Each structure stands twice: as structure tokens, then as C-alpha cells.
Chain A
């Protein structure tokens, strides 16, 4: 370490180089501000008449931001899954889910009753990879999904066929969404658990509110309606379809692609992170400069 300070110009040169590298890091595409590319996060269409159109990004025309304008249609189309999904769904269910949930999805002592939860609920759990459960803990975690989009919908169709009711699978069209309204509603209803930047945080009794950065638009709507785990249930009487669409548009755009105009986002965890950077990098770098300028004896 001492040899580092031998060449007396080495330290400031290192400072300049590290600043330059930091700058390159900032200019790398992943950290830049929101792009106008259409999102492909929602899984592709799966044939059989389902259009999984995730809608355009807010910057493009067609997005209204005036709070009082009533859009045409509310953007959420609750679909009934085709009958042809039920048989393959039953097969998948029997092979992967029945061992815990029972062959008729009525539940066992290991897993709850899925009947009348609805296809949308099941699709949320399966398409986010939470189910099949990897290890039993207090809360199932999002992971690499075992099933693709079509299979998830098939399983959902099967469970829906066992009992009526519950949340349906939504097709989400964001083209008339109002992100301003979405921002307002998100802050009032979602930020208290998921944080205002959607980063997620720990809850009581070992639960946690997950990060919102990975959810597709369909999963967002399904989660809001079905209230998985400790999440409350937000039905249409509480948050209307149009409002859910607005919230989804906001999450899908400004939460998942935040405008970090100020530079490197530092993870969005707030002032504690900023404090560490300010002290370690800010005060630290300046102390290194002091070390260079001054004597050491």
C-alpha cells in the first residue's frame, strides 16, 4: 500500500481515472433516463385469441395527463380463458401442483384451497415463478417461472373451471392511461408498502413487500385485484378498472424506468445510501486529496 504513495502524482491521477470510470458508468445505457422504446416486458401473445398488448410508453402521443379527461374504455379487459386450455391445464396441475394443493385444488394441510380464487390469481402466482414453491418460508419469492405464458394460462383456466368467481385474467391496454392520475393513486395506495420508488421493503412478521421492477402489466393488475399474501385486495369498488390501468401505466413506466436525470440512481433506497456515498466518496476523496497535499509526519 505504501508503494502507492511513492509516486506522488499517482494518487491524484488515480482520482481522475476513477472519476472518469464513474462517469462512464453513468453514461452506460442501463442507467440513463427513460427511453421511448415500447416495452416488451409483457410476455408475447400465445395464440388462441389473446392479445397481450402492453401498450405504448408514456412519451408517445395518445397518453393523456389531464386528470379530468375521461378516456374511452378503461383499458382492462377481463377475459374468460378458452375451454381448450382446461385439459392441458389439468395435466400440468396434476403433475406440479396437486401434490400440495390436492387434485381438485381444494387444499391440503400443506397448501390452501385455490377454488374460486380465479384464473387471474393463479396466473399471478405461476407466471411470477412464486409457484411451484421452492422452499416453504414465510413468503413465497418471485423466481424464474417454471412455466411459460401459455402453460400458466392453462393452469389458470383449469383452476377457474373448478369453481366460479375470483379474479379474471386481464388484458391490459395502456394507450389511454393517465400517468398523472396513476402517480397520485400509487402514492396513496401502494407507496406505504412498496415505497414511493417501488423498491419494496420488509414488513412485519417476516413478510415483505416485493420490488415492483420486474412485474409485467398483467401481473400488476392481477396482484392489485387478487391481493396475494399480505397485500390487501383492491376490488373495482375501491380502485376502478380505469384507475388500475392508470396505476399500471405509472408502475410500468416511471417506476420500472425511473427518470434518473440526476445521474446514477444509487438504488433508490433513500438518504441512507446517499449518506454513505457522500461520506465515503465525497469526504473520502477529499481526505485523500488532503493526504496528498499535506505532510504525513
Chain B
């Protein structure tokens, strides 16, 4: 039957030859190459759960009276968006599970992209010929962050509505066109005429997912065309790929991994509560809660907004709110511009235009690794700065102290990280086989007191993993100058 199907398809599409190549495709096995798959399967879960949610969510700011089962809201006038989301959480079977799985999947999607991007960066996989794929990936990161923001703003609750207000003010801060853009997007002065909810919805469920999906196809297509990179090692060269074939091994492993990713996301989705919008209430622009932060992937922007000094430029009849424009428009623009341009920037420093299919070990490129670690620490400091009030409460210090501390450490800690990481890389390179298990040395002493060493037998099944033993020194090799001692010290020669 398979024979007939293949023939049928081949007569119409000519798939047999190309298909065979596809099935024989080799995938290298290193664990860090699977990080992108976490992102891919989180995206699949997002689509699946997202479709479910879109069957119940009503993208409208029009007010209705809530009649569902959450008592404090019953009889209250709320938007249809909010009412349908609370209804989904309480009155639709499995609704809350799917909603929370969707939200956790978004957090994990962006988290895994960050980890995957770090792997690509630290191993130099963005070098020629893969610069295009790096650009596609960074674009997906940016679109993912935006889509996440749009998504958690859809329920129109107090916490996410505050974020929308902040987003409007950021748009407003753009010189020349800011107020126009804000009015156009929202349909008027904040909160606008309510059109923002359906616009966010359309962007979130259709426009951005289609773009991201298309970019995923490009990303994977480039991967197929250019083949995967691999670490240097036994039998691995610039001109081959060593690993497991697509069919059946890799398909089995990756399908299993898809199931396991979905399982982890579902377990989070049902066991760890996230975004309990019923506790927050409907968004009203004159109401606010304390201790509000955006979702983690927007945290770096919120932190930047908090620590920025209040520099506003006023002159010649105009205002340029630098305390908003710089951290929330210019800074992310610079960030993504820098990420996009990194392969080009690195080329200017390394003058390396060769094709690379073998990866670097991070320790072998100390400057790049240290720089990447410092940048990661910089963005992590900004993310931490988005919870200044929670930290002040937790550590029982004043808000002022926490804020000034962050203004300083946001710059100081990345600099320290750079030097520490650089040093660690160099030390790891210097030590032979650092971190790897080596064959044991058995030290024995003869009856006359002489020590001798003999290499131990390898543990069963471990000969592939252990490196050769490091010889135990049996004499001290010092020059006469080194044997000089200070006054009052007698060195004994044996």
C-alpha cells in the first residue's frame, strides 16, 4: 500500500528522489540543538490552544452585564472581552486549562527563543552562510514579544489595561507624529472609541501568527538547505554532518519531544495559576493596582522606564518626553538593530568571511562569550528593575534606595560580568580536558615507601566518556633559583 501511495504521489509530484534525500537527512545529536524545537513546539501548542480560545473570546469593548459564575462580578457592567474571558475561565469546560496553557506556552515560547538565540550566539552559528537565518530568528523574537503583549492585553483586565495605557503614552511620545499615531490607532483620545480591542485581536490571531508562521517556514527551509551546524569532534569536518537520520530516528525523537513539550505546558497550565484576571476586575482608566508588571519578556522595557531619570526636553513650543522616548522607543530600536546587525558587526572585528559549518566552543571565543554574557546580564538587570517596588517590599528597604541601586548596577554588573566571563573562558581553555571525567589513577605505596601510580581500569561502558588520566607528578621540578628560601627557612631536599 505504501508502495502504491509513493508511486501515486511520484507520478504527480516527482517526490521519490527528493523525498529519499529528505528521509536520509542527518541531524546532529547535541542536546543544545534541540532548544529551537522547544520554541517550535511551544508555537504549535500556542496555535492549537489559541484556536480553541478564539472560539469563545469576544473581541469587543462593548459593555455587557456579567452573568457567569464568579460572584463578585455578577451584575457588574464589564466589556464583552472581559466577560468572555472570565466566562472561558469559569463556565467553559477545560476553558481555564487551555487558557492558562496558552499563556504559559507564550512565556515558554519566548524563553526558549532567548535560550536558543543565546546558543546560536555563543557557538557562532550565525556566521556565513547563516546570517539570513539569524535575521529571520531575531525578527521572530521581536514579533513574538509584540504578539505576547497583544495577547495578554485582550482580556481587558485591570493589569493588562494599565499596560495598554503605558503603550499609548509611549506612542504619544514619538516626536512630530506621536499624538497622531495614538489617535489613529485607538480611534481617539485614550481610551479611544473601543476599537483597540478588535484591532489587537486581529493582529494577535491572524496577522502576526501568519507572519511568524511564514518566518518559521523560512527558518526551517534555510536549515534544510544549508544543513545544520555541528560541534567539532571525532569524524566531524566542515564538509559533513554526523548524526541521526531523519527517518525513523529523528522523527521519533522529535515527535516524542513535541508530546513532552505539550505535556510540560499542560501541566503548568493546570497546576500553576497564571494571570487570574477575575481577581483583577475590568479595566477602567481611572483605576490602578499597585505591584503591576508586564509579562517577563516586556520586563526589560518596564525596568528601563523605571530607572530612567525624568529628563523631558521643552522648547520652542514643543515637548520631547525623553524619559519615555529614550527608554521605550530609542532603546528597543537600538537593541533590535544591534541584534539584527550582529553578524555584520562581528565580521568587522574578526575579519572572518569564511564559511563555517563547525561551531565554536564558547570558551574558544572568550571575547564574544564575555560580551554575550554581559549583554544577557544587562537585559536581566533591566528585567529585575521592573519589580523595584516588590523588591523594596521584600528586602524592607526604601523605594529610593532600590531605584538608585538599579541605576548603578544596570551598568556595573554587566561590566563585571564581562571580565569574569573572559577570565573563566581563558582558564577553561588553559586546563586540559577541564570538566570532563578522566580515568582514575591508582596510587600505591611499596614496602620501602616508594609511591607508584598505575592507571585504573575504565568503568564498564565508560571508555567513550573518559579522557586519559593526568599523570601524578613523582618529583618536584624546580630550578635552583626557585629553591632559594628566605632567611630563617631551611628547605629539606629528599
Residues of A with Cβ closer than 8 Å to B? 2, 19, 22-23, 26, 58-59, 63, 65-67, 179-180, 182-184, 187-188, 191-197, 199-206, 208-209, 250, 254, 258-266, 268-272, 274-279, 281-283, 285-287, 289-297
Contact = CB atoms under 8 A, between A and B. Distances in A.
B267 A19 contact: yes
Q: Is the interface of B mostly helix, strand, loop or mixed?
A: helix
Given A65-B74, A283-B111, A286-B38, A188 B287 contact: yes
By Cβ-Cβ distance, the 10 closest A-B pairs, closest first, are: A275-B296, A294-B31, A262-B273, A278-B107, A202-B392, A196-B289, A202-B393, A183-B72, A290-B34, A283-B111
A297 to B, nearest CB: 6
Contacts of B337: none
B296 to A, nearest CB: 3
Sort chain B's interface into a size bin. 35 or more
5 contacts: A26-B271, A258-B276, A278-B268, A290-B257, A295-B31
B179 interface: no
B295 A201 contact: no
Nearest to A2: B437
B382 to A, nearest CB: 13
A123 B71 CA distance: 32
B104 A278 contact: yes
Contacts of A261: 89-90, 96, 273, 276
A266 B272 contact: yes
Interface stretch (B311-319, B366-374, B383-391): B383-391
Contacts of A254: 72, 279
A291 B29 CA distance: 10
A64 B299 CA distance: 40
B70 interface: yes
Contact of A180 (B37, B71, B390): B71
Nearest to A58: B71
B253 A293 contact: yes
Nearest to B267: A19
B29 A294 contact: yes
Interface string B284-305: 1011111111111101000000
B389 to A, nearest CB: 5
Nearest to A184: B76
Nearest to A283: B111
A269 B296 contact: no
Interface in B373-406: 383, 386-387, 389-390, 392-393, 398-400
Interface of B: 29-35, 37-38, 70-76, 89-90, 96, 100, 104, 107-108, 111-112, 115, 158-159, 231, 233, 253, 256-257, 260-261, 264-265, 267-268, 270-276, 278-281, 284, 286-297, 299, 383, 386-387, 389-390, 392-393, 398-400, 437
Given A196-B159, A202-B398, A263 B393 contact: no
Contacts of A179: 71-72
Most buried by B among A23, A268, A293: A293
Contacts of A295: 29-31
Given A67-B76, A260-B273, A278-B107, A270 B292 contact: yes
Contacts of B73: 180, 183
A287 B35 contact: yes
B28 to A, nearest CB: 8
